[in-house]
Amino acid sequence: MKMKKILAVIMAVLMIAVCFAGCGEDKEKTDMEYVKEKGKLVVGITDFEPMDYEDKDGNWIGFDADMAKAFAKYLGVEVEFVEINWDNKIMELDGKNIDCVWNGMTLTDEVKAGMDCSKPYCNNAQVIVVPADKADQYKTAADCKELTFAVEAGSAGKDQAVANELKYTEVLDQATALSEVAAGTCDAAIIDSLMAGAMIGEGTGYANLTYTASLNSEEYGVGFRKGSDLVAEFNMFFDAEVANGNVQKVAETYGVQEALIK
């Protein structure tokens, strides 16, 4: 009986040692090794034309989506797009539900504190969207103090609503913000200028909407986990894609070439 107890203790100690050894191996693995080992790069996105949106067949396309596909190919892995709640993007990244956030992401102080980010690749601004027949009334943020805005939760648009002391309702994403204005359930929205240029006005699904005041200027970047070696790898990849003309080509496909940071 005594021998059995001794053997049980030895087995328990061995199991603990194995567990610690396994943990040590995971800790030493770099982000790039982790992605390559599982064979896919999981990209956190929202529905955001012209950066990430679905075509008629349900495939994700857009400037960011196409560049993410190219980056995954460069790494030798597949790409998987996962729609996330934008307010939880840092949590999703830290929990390894996604490997990067690549969705026209504004490089705010909060983002840079919670992620390691690529160098910026696009210029952008937050703009006020209103019904076209009311545009003359709302040319500045000061004109809009009595309006209720739809803003994406956790977005730069929400930050601008707070900074300009505007009344707002948080919604799932920027596409939903536009639909709220079109439906009349909110008076206005604050969204990215690149999205506004692609989705509202004549010839779009929101021909009755327009944008007026620009509230700020900002830059887009890609977010990775803190300490990730994929940041440097992305920067090298993107520089090469700029040099070979592919970035310009993809940008022209989606009409964002004027926003590229040269």
Of 24-33, 55-64, 88-97, 111-120, minimum mean pLDDT range: 24-33
Length of the chain: 262
Q: Enter the tokens of residue 47.
A: 């529905």
pLDDT digit string (tens) for 42-59?
A: 999 999 999 999 999 999
To the nearest whole percent, how much of the chain has pLDDT over 70? Answer: 90
**Helices 246-254 and 63-75, axial angle in degrees (round to 10):** 150
Contact 93, 100 (CB under 8 A): yes
Higher pLDDT, 29 or 245: 245
Residues 6+ apart with CB under 8 A from 2: none
When pLDDT is averaged across residues 68-95 and rounded to a whole number, the result is: 97
When pLDDT is averaged across residues 10-19 and rounded to a whole number, the result is: 55
When pLDDT is averaged across residues 238-246 and rounded to a whole number, the result is: 98
pLDDT digit string (tens) for 160-194?
A: 999 999 999 999 999 999 999 999 999 999 999 99
Q: Answer whether residue 27 shows pLDDT above 70.
A: no
CATH superfamily, region 31-122+220-259: Periplasmic binding protein-like II (3.40.190.10)
**Domain segments of the chain: what residues?**
31-122+220-259, 126-216
Mean of per-residue pLDDT scores for the chain: 92
Question: Which pLDDT score is estimated for 25?
Answer: 47
Of 16-20, 36-40, 144-148, minimum mean pLDDT range: 16-20
Residue 99: phi and psi, rounded to 5, are -105, -20
Q: Answer whether residue 16 shows pLDDT above 60.
A: no
Higher pLDDT, 63 or 28: 63
Global confidence as pTM:
0.81
Contact 150, 222 (CB under 8 A): no
Higher pLDDT, 223 or 2: 223
When pLDDT is averaged across residues 217-244 and rounded to a whole number, the result is: 98
DSSP calls for the chain = -HHHHHHHHHHHHHHHHHHHHHHHHHHH--HHHHHHHHTEEEEEE--BTTTBEE-TTS-EESHHHHHHHHHHHHHTSEEEEEE--GGGHHHHHHTTS-SEEEEEEE--HHHHHHSEEPPP-EEE-EEEEEEGGGGGG-SSGGGGTT-EEEEETTSHHHHHHHHTT-EEEEESSHHHHHHHHHHTSSSEEEEEHHHHHHHBSTTSTBTTEEEEEE---EEEEEEE-TT-THHHHHHHHHHHHHHTTHHHHHHHHHT-GGGB--
> How would CATH label the architecture of 126-216?
3-Layer(aba) Sandwich (3.40)
Task: Give the chain's largest Cα–Cα span.
Answer: 90
Residues 6+ apart with CB under 8 A from 92: 44, 82, 84, 85, 98, 101
Asked if the domains 31-122+220-259 and 126-216 are classified in one and the same CATH topology, the answer is yes
Question: Which pLDDT score is estimated for 262?
Answer: 84
When pLDDT is averaged across residues 235-261 and rounded to a whole number, the result is: 97
Of 19-28, 35-44, 119-128, minimum mean pLDDT range: 19-28
